[in-house]
A and B are shown apart, each in its own frame.
Chain A
Amino acid sequence: MKNRTLMSGNEAIARGAYECGVRFASGYPGTPSTEIMESFARYDGVYAEWCPNEKVGLECAIGAALAGTKAMAVMKHVGVNVAADPLFTVSYTGTNGALVIITADDPSLHSSQNEQDNRNYAKFAKIPMLEPADSAEAYAFIKIAFALSAQFDTPVFLRTTTRVSHSKSIVEIADPVPVEDTTQVRFNAPKYVMVPAMARLRRIEVEKRMQALKAFAETFEENRVEINRTDVGVITAGIPYHYAKDVFPDYSYLKLGMVHPLPEKTIRDFASRVDRLVVIEELDPFLEEQIRALGIPVTGKDALPYTNEFDPGVIERALRTAPREESPYVPPAVPPRPPNLCPGCPHRGLFYVLGKLKVFAAGDIGCYTLSFMKPLEGLHACICMGASIGMAHGMSKALGEKGKGKVVGVIGDSTFIHSGITPLLNAAYNRSDCVFIICDNRTTAMTGMQEHPATGFTLQGQPAKTLDFERLAEALGIDQVRVIDPYDIRQTRAVIREELDRSGPSLVISRRACVLFRRAAGPPQKPLRVDPGKCIGCRSCLGLGCPPISWRKFSDQAPDRIVRNAKKQEGNAVIDPQLCNGCTVCQQLCKAGAIVAGEE
């Protein structure tokens, strides 16, 4: 059966993996990789699991591959940092089955804290890496990746970028191959026990393998040469190939399907057939530097940017000498439209209080990171997942007395499980004086409601053990554990103040389900409205930055409709009933009692 279908790169990877017999996948959600696991998990007969973090995810996949199956570990680029420890050593051991690690990179930092180029990991860990340019290649390359893994007894990287993962294009899918059971318990200590004496021997095997892969790269049909005009030859890989083909269709191309190791002879041949060699690659000059090291004259980053993703326009601007067609239109300046916490978001009440308390809130990765912005300004640092607890502890130790009651660490429920448990243990062990807050919205909200060990369900929908944060904290040695409802501003403020005044570490669990997570949050409440007969124009409610609440100046209103309730009042607040879901946080802030329920 051949079937043309529109697929995202992520869906295509899942489909290709399923078709070639992969039956095991593990990972942790992270944009732009999340949908790979989600779509793979829906195929018949596969096993897929969300793990607490990427390191655990990779270790599970390593175990599965040691048992002899084809296993896939899926993560975003920064997830590979978390998984780097097992990564560098599984490179030595190889597996009994096949192991592919998917790294979804995010040039332009659409949803990430950094822009690292994970091609460097391939070179660093001595692991081959394939890089598809669109969904059809993603579908094809995942199959090749598994074949290479088995053939060369090596883990294989498949690297995507956001524009490959999240673009859709046409894929011709096929039926899955029949899967034979290749698993069994095999003992092979010299290959799998990486004590120094044995690792030294495996280290030699790694170099042999990389040489074999270099030879393979010369004949690999996805390292594709297209000879057209020979004045310019472009070496590229991944989606920049398509951008370049759009604006320079006549140039000659060496399109690399495998970005590590490089096919030296193929590159030399290609270079000899063109007058000028240009490398078009996003982020680091990864290919360019290696090609230059071969003694081949090449350009690239002299004209093309190091930062941000490309598009056809970026490449055209950088490389074209002739004038280009420009748009005749110039956009007028319009107000920016940044992402915002949703109406009724449970984070809003908590971060409103933290902002007002003027504490330094070391933050973490999650929707709540957005509360660094005006008007909440309740979060003051964000480095990576799990960092907030350690950072707050370190900061308060450095500040000593000056830091008493001034530093908190905030973390999400999924992030806490990801990498917040060990720093909390550290805080208990090292007699911390901080308040730590888990923003427990009962799900992995930012990436779209993925299950985790405290939600009660697995990725494939099976009921699961539910982690109890209170009991865990107690076991770690945190004596003070308080639970608050961030929809209750008075309680939230009182409890956090009490905990800030106390010595020793304490944990506050701010518990309220994400407003979009219907399973736990239930249906929305009735919208509230502002009674203009009571609003005194104090703007307290606007301090929440809640999307339904807006400010209407009297100067913009018809004079006969203005109701003035305070001397210097200049306007009043309005709530959009289409957006409001009645969380009541603004109502609690309104001293005039102007925010009311019910119809006008």
Chain B
Amino acid sequence: MGRPKGGTKGDTPVRSILMAGVGGQGILRASDILCEVMMRSGLDVKKSEVHGMAQRGGCVTSHVRYGASVHSPIAKKGEVGILLAFEKMEALRYLDYLCVEGIAIVNDTEIYPPAVNLGDARYPENVLALLPLPPTSVKMVRAQEMGVRAGNPRTENIVLLGVLSRYLPLDASVWDEVLKASFPAKLVNANLRAFDLGRAA
């Protein structure tokens, strides 16, 4: 009855990644690409996010769970292995999703919410210092700069995928194949460069 038997990778335990950022940063696109790579690598994968409403400017999260056989598409607090924050403050907001040995990849960019713009609230001053993780578990990335170097600032999300790819047991060739299929021809090269810059960061 069309119900797949999960992934082909026998006993791979289920793990979770949480992407968090601000509407308009390309988070949903990035998590679509990640899931496609996982599926083509023989893993079962589920992802969940909420769209609708005028989400531009609001918080956006995407949960990705993968392994031999995945039930829930959303992670519970305390079980996420990798928190990929597209915006610095958002890394703090979802900290309680991380597990003890979890790591945070943090895009070194600040996007002010309305209360900060109006001067009613302060943007946290030193996000890195507020992150209670061991220093070896935090990876700060200047994804926007790298996107510009890749030839298109809109590739910030793909830079971050490149960084994330270093922490995942997925073949570079599958990433390459999926990235090439994910963009119109004229944007492929900038995105491949962005991914490589992130992977090398």
Contact = CB atoms under 8 A, between A and B. Distances in A.
A242 interface: yes
B97 interface: yes
A136 B122 CA distance: 45
Interface stretch (A273-281, A428-436, A461-469, A546-554): A546-554
Given A4-B4, A327-B96, A332-B130, A134 B46 contact: yes
A516 B98 CA distance: 35
B52 A313 contact: no
A335 B72 contact: no
Interface stretch (B32-40, B164-172, B185-193): B32-40
Contacts of A328: 78, 98, 100
A338 B58 contact: yes
B56 to A, nearest CB: 5
Contact of B76 (A171, A316, A339): A316
B94 A167 contact: no
Interface in B91-144: 92-100, 112-119, 121-124, 130, 132-133
B52 A167 contact: no
Nearest to A109: B53
Interface in A143-186: 162-163, 166-174
B117 A547 contact: yes
Contacts of A350: none
Given A6-B36, A166-B48, A168-B32, A337 B57 contact: yes
Given A327-B99, A339-B58, A243 B71 contact: yes
Interface residues of A, number: 68
A31 B72 contact: no
Contacts of B59: 337
Given A136-B3, A316-B76, A545-B114, A339 B46 contact: no
Contacts of A375: 118
Interface residues of B, number: 63
B72 A246 contact: yes
A34 B14 CA distance: 31
Interface of A: 4, 6, 16, 31-32, 34, 110-111, 134, 136-137, 139-140, 162-163, 166-174, 239, 242-243, 245-247, 311-313, 316, 325-332, 334-342, 367, 370, 373-375, 445-447, 516, 542, 545, 547, 549-551, 553, 571
Interface of B: 1-4, 14, 22-23, 32, 35-36, 39, 44-59, 70-79, 89-90, 92-100, 112-119, 121-124, 130, 132-133
Q: Which 10 A-B pairs have the closest CB atoms?
A: A31-B52, A339-B58, A313-B76, A327-B78, A111-B52, A167-B73, A335-B121, A551-B119, A167-B48, A550-B117
28 contacts: A4-B4, A31-B53, A110-B53, A136-B3, A137-B3, A139-B2, A140-B1, A166-B49, A167-B47, A167-B73, A169-B47, A312-B72, A327-B95, A328-B100, A330-B132, A331-B92, A335-B113, A335-B116, A335-B122, A338-B114, A339-B54, A342-B54, A342-B57, A542-B117, A547-B57, A547-B114, A549-B117, A550-B116
